């Protein structure tokens, strides 16, 4: 079975060993050795068992014989005796503290030794009471950052990012699909509704054997630590690595009602129950009833149809008017991945990307796209290798040469220009004139006041070369809050000037947030979906961008990169001053 221990679990164990050793004051070279072996395991391109069997893991850099022994132990038993020994010796709260950004091992040891703090609640109390700030080299600011770090750690432990949850769900369903008696499986809950943060993994199993029978077989899956029953058709699986998933079993005849109930959201289900009642039905115990008569719902479409509704896509089930729309045939024709003709926003080796223009272009072409908008960083982003005008000229030549070779596929010349503090873009008009399109993004000075930040963005939109505001709020999920902005003013100005707002599909950003993207849509602003790829693998981000666009009720015509390459370029250039005019 596949969902046993995978490379990520093993890498995590090795990384933990490194942290424990570091906290114990172990020699730095030993700590570094474990960290690099964790990285080596995590970047394996094949299943870990295979890499052990064919000897490729033993040959990889940073993996010595003692590490191999640990890896074998973790893969066969699900745990590491070394890690368990270390766990006995180090207070677990100290390891939790390592996850707080800005709090390194030296500081943690000092906090522990001087204040006797050995848990996150203790740490929080010490920060609030001013005991941390009084330590040498700490100060008030550090104490505040630590409090902020504890808060975001709390958020992080409750939620996981959508792309991680999606991958976990895929592994798990692959294993569940193999169980005897399982007809099909469906990922439901937050993952199916494509929520950017997922609280719980939930999977529905449609089975032709009793739930108890399914549960018995589940318990035999390798890597399962515990089965915690909540009722006769629901069970919580806990895995050896600490993660968990809820499994709901249903019979085929009631699958529609169960899938609906398990997919949510609460708001959608409450409104659906009200609607059902107005039609003489009741939703009760994850089944549909008319009086005392059970109504069979083998799938969700049957269920919605019985209630006089069009089938509502899972992404729209947030109680935002979708039931009224489904009752009147007014559900939007949501954008799909196949509508997207161009991939926008990617970084190449000329700034901070991992692949060349050609590698990205070929990957985009193979994925079925018609064009690729290359947008490296601009000159003030010196750390990210931003391009000066001379490099822009050279990149343009390289793109012309590639376009001559690539036949039907087209590479567009773009830039991700920094929006400077005064709202100006990072280049003079004569440089921007040579490009096909321009993204403007804020990458610095996030702490400006709401008023100044809003002015900064509004005045950027007056630049006739700007086409797209990149990651408009600057949020990093579970890591950085959006900067303060008067978003209504931004959306109105975007609609008035024809500057599009990006749904940045980097799984850590997903910015605009889908709730905000819906507001931008209502305000009349155009949207683009940007991969913000820093390598070939990142091009696949756009799927998450499509998910967010669908949650925002967006149709293809509202998204600028569903246009053909030439339409997109004329769209981009329509704001520019006419030559000689
Ligand atoms: Zn950016
Ligand atoms: Zn970028």
Residue 380 Cα to ligand 2 middle (Å):
14
Residue 537 Cα to ligand 2 middle (Å):
14
Give the pairing type, strands 201-207 and 182-188.
antiparallel
Residue 131 Cα to ligand 2 middle (Å):
41
CA 232 to CA 212: how far, in whole Å?
Answer: 7
Ligand with an atom nearest the CA of residue 530: 2
Residue 354 Cα to ligand 2 middle (Å):
13
Binning the chain into helix, strand and coil, the percentages to the nearest 5 are 50, 15, 35
Ligand with an atom nearest the CA of residue 441: 1
Residue in 319, 348, 507 with CA at minimum distance from that of residue 415: 348
Residue 562 Cα to ligand 1 middle (Å):
21
Q: For residues 548 and 517, is the Cβ–Cβ distance under 8 A?
A: yes
Residue 339 Cα to ligand 2 middle (Å):
22
**Secondary structure class of 375 (helix, strand, coil):** strand
- pLDDT score of 225: 78
End-to-end CA distance of the chain: 69
Residue 397 Cα to ligand 2 middle (Å):
22
Ligand with an atom nearest the CA of residue 415: 2
Give the helix/strand (H/E) hosting 207: strand 201-207
- pLDDT score of 150: 82
Give per-10-residue mean pLDDT for the chain (581 aa): 68 88 86 90 87 90 89 88 82 79 83 87 85 89 86 74 91 92 97 95 96 90 79 84 84 97 95 96 93 96 97 98 98 98 96 93 97 95 84 97 94 97 96 98 90 98 98 88 94 98 96 97 98 94 98 98 98 86 44
Residue 465 Cα to ligand 2 middle (Å):
18
HEC per residue, 179-206 = CCCEEEEEEEHHHHCCCCEECCEEEEEE
- pLDDT score of 242: 62
Residue 80 Cα to ligand 1 middle (Å):
40
Residue 377 Cα to ligand 2 middle (Å):
7
Residue 142 Cα to ligand 2 middle (Å):
30
Residue 534 Cα to ligand 2 middle (Å):
8
Ligand with an atom nearest the CA of residue 443: 1
Give the pairing type, strands 342-346 and 527-533.
parallel
Residue 450 Cα to ligand 1 middle (Å):
20
Residue 519 Cα to ligand 2 middle (Å):
23
Spacing of C-alpha 81 from chain mean position: 34
Residue tagged 């161009």 (tokens): 342
**Secondary structure class of 521 (helix, strand, coil):** helix
- pLDDT score of 581: 44
Residue in 512, 513, 471, 519 with CA at minimum distance from that of residue 495: 519
Q: Which residues on neighbouring strands pair with residue 373, listed in sequence order?
A: 344, 412
Q: Largest Cα–Cα distance in the chain?
A: 78
Residue 351 Cα to ligand 1 middle (Å):
12
Residue 539 Cα to ligand 2 middle (Å):
12
Residue 443 Cα to ligand 1 middle (Å):
6
Ligand with an atom nearest the CA of residue 414: 2
Residue 424 Cα to ligand 1 middle (Å):
16
Residue 470 Cα to ligand 1 middle (Å):
6
Spacing of C-alpha 530 from chain mean position: 14
Residue 159 Cα to ligand 2 middle (Å):
25
Residue 542 Cα to ligand 2 middle (Å):
13
- pLDDT score of 1: 32
Residue tagged 């008696």 (tokens): 181
Residue 500 Cα to ligand 1 middle (Å):
15
Residue in 192, 176, 35, 19 with CA at minimum distance from that of residue 103: 19
Token readout for 308 is: 């006089």
Residue 103 Cα to ligand 1 middle (Å):
26
User: Cα dist. 173→1, 8, 98, 395, 412 in Å?
Assistant: 11, 18, 33, 45, 40
Residue 376 Cα to ligand 2 middle (Å):
7
pTM of the model: 0.76
Residue 416 Cα to ligand 1 middle (Å):
7
CA 6 to CA 178: how far, in whole Å?
Answer: 18
Q: For residues 527 and 500, is the Cβ–Cβ distance under 8 A?
A: yes
- pLDDT score of 104: 80
Beta strands in 395-444 (DSSP E): 410-418, 437-441
- pLDDT score of 4: 64
Residue tagged 């009471």 (tokens): 129
Ligand with an atom nearest the CA of residue 418: 1
- pLDDT score of 2: 33
Residue 442 Cα to ligand 1 middle (Å):
7
- pLDDT score of 156: 64
Residue 541 Cα to ligand 1 middle (Å):
14
Q: What is the DSSP letter of 483?
A: P
Residue 104 Cα to ligand 2 middle (Å):
29
- pLDDT score of 226: 83
């Amino acid at each position: 079975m596949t969902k046993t221990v995978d490379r990520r679990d093993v890498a995590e164990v090795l990384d933990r060993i490194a942290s424990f050793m570091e906290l114990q004051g172990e020699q730095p070279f030993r700590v570094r050795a474990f960290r690099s072996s964790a990285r080596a395991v995590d970047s394996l391109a094949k299943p870990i068992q295979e890499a052990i069997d064919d000897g490729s893991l033993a040959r990889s850099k940073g993996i010595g014989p003692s590490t191999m022994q640990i890896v074998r132990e973790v893969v066969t038993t699900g745990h590491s005796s070394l890690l368990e020994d270390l766990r006995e010796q180090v207070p677990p709260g100290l390891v939790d503290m390592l996850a707080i950004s800005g709090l390194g091992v030296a500081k943690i040891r000092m906090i522990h030794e001087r204040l006797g703090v050995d848990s996150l609640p203790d740490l929080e109390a010490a920060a609030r009471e001013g005991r941390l700030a009084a330590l040498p080299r700490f100060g008030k600011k550090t104490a505040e950052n630590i409090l902020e770090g504890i808060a975001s750690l709390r958020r992080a432990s409750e939620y996981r990012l959508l792309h991680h949850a999606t991958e976990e769900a895929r592994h798990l369903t692959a294993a569940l699909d193999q169980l005897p008696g399982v007809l099909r499986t469906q990922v439901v809950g937050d993952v199916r509704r494509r929520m950017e943060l997922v609280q719980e993994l939930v999977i529905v199993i449609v089975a032709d054997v009793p739930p108890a029978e399914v549960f018995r077989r589940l318990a035999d899956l390798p890597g399962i630590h515990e089965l915690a029953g909540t009722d006769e058709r629901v069970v919580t699986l806990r895995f050896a690595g600490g993660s968990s998933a809820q499994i709901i079993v249903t019979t085929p005849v009631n699958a529609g009602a169960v899938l609906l109930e398990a997919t949510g959201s609460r708001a959608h289900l409450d409104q659906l129950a009200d609607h059902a009642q107005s039609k003489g039905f009741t939703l009760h115990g994850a089944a549909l009833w008319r009086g005392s008569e059970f109504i069979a719902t083998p799938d969700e479409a049957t269920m919605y149809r019985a209630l006089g509704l069009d089938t509502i896509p899972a992404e729209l089930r947030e109680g935002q008017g979708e039931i009224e729309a489904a009752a009147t045939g007014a559900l939007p024709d949501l954008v799909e991945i196949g509508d997207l003709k161009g991939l926008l926003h990617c970084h190449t080796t000329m700034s901070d990307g991992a692949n060349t223009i050609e590698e990205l272009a070929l990957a985009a072409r193979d994925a079925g796209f018609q064009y690729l908008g290359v947008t490296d960083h601009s000159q003030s982003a010196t750390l990210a290798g931003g391009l000066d005008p001379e490099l822009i000229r050279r990149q343009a030549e390289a793109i012309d040469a590639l376009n001559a070779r690539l036949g039907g596929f087209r590479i567009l010349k773009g830039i991700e220009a920094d929006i400077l503090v005064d709202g100006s873009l990072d280049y003079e008009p004569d440089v921007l004139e040579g490009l096909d399109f321009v993204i403007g993004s804020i990458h610095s000075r996030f702490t400006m006041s709401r008023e100044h930040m809003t002015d900064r963005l509004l005045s950027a939109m007056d630049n006739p070369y700007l086409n797209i505001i990149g990651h408009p709020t600057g949020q990093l999920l579970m890591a950085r809050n959006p900067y303060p902005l008067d978003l209504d003013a931004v959306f109105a100005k975007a609609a008035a000037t024809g500057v599009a707002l990006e749904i940045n599909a980097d799984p850590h950003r997903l910015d605009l947030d889908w709730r905000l993207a819906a507001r931008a849509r209502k305000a009349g602003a155009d949207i683009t979906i940007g991969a913000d790829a820093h390598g070939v693998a990142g091009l696949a981000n756009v799927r998450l961008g499509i998910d967010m666009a669908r949650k925002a009720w967006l149709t293809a015509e509202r998204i600028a990169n569903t246009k053909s390459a030439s339409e997109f370029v004329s769209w981009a250039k329509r704001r520019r001053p006419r030559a000689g005019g």
